[in-house]
Amino acid sequence: MACIENLGKLGIRFEKRPPVQDNACKIDNPVSVSGFANGVEVSPASLMECRYAEGLSRWIGDVVVPRANEHLQSAPKKLLIGTSYQCRDQRSGTKLSEHAFGNGVDVMGFEFDKRPPLTIKFQAEGSPEAAFQSAIQKDACTIFSTVLGPGADADHGDHLHLDMRARKGDYRICQ
């Protein structure tokens, strides 16, 4: 329950949900997140593990908002999510995806207050969009243990995959 209380203190807009159990896929402490304290909406509202919601909130507040103001001179208003909880294997098929535990999301893009939306993709080199996307992808590695996006592999050319998979020695994959 400490996590749920913390989400409230952080100003995250969410609904507590009952535990999820779908074969080996499960979320012990699920929440449906619809927005963050800084006014950034989550579209669509996304089901995730409570601790993951804390990390996503940190990334939005500590990384995305300041980098958007720095590189795009615009505040983000909406985080566009492709996949949050989904009971499925990793693409390799060898183990369950972190999506299967509510411990990962796929970020498709952002909407802003003073500029057109930004879709995650290969951006024009030297553009403010490229600088913003590169910064938020790189800085995500301080919060998430897996960060995959355009350039990582063919499967991640149109989104940022952010998860908190626990690995030995705090090993991180940041590509």
> What is the pLDDT confidence band of residue 95, given thresholds at 50, 70 and 90?
confident
**What's the pLDDT at 174?**
86
For the segment 92-114, the average pLDDT, to the nearest whole number, is: 91
> What is the pLDDT confidence band of residue 73, given thresholds at 50, 70 and 90?
very high
Q: Which residue bears the tokens 């592999």? A: 153
**What's the pLDDT at 90?**
72
Whole-prediction pTM: 0.93
**Weakest-pLDDT range from 5-9, 33-37, 59-63, 85-89:** 85-89
Q: b/e for 55-65, b at 16 or more Cβ within 10 A?
A: bbbebbbebbb
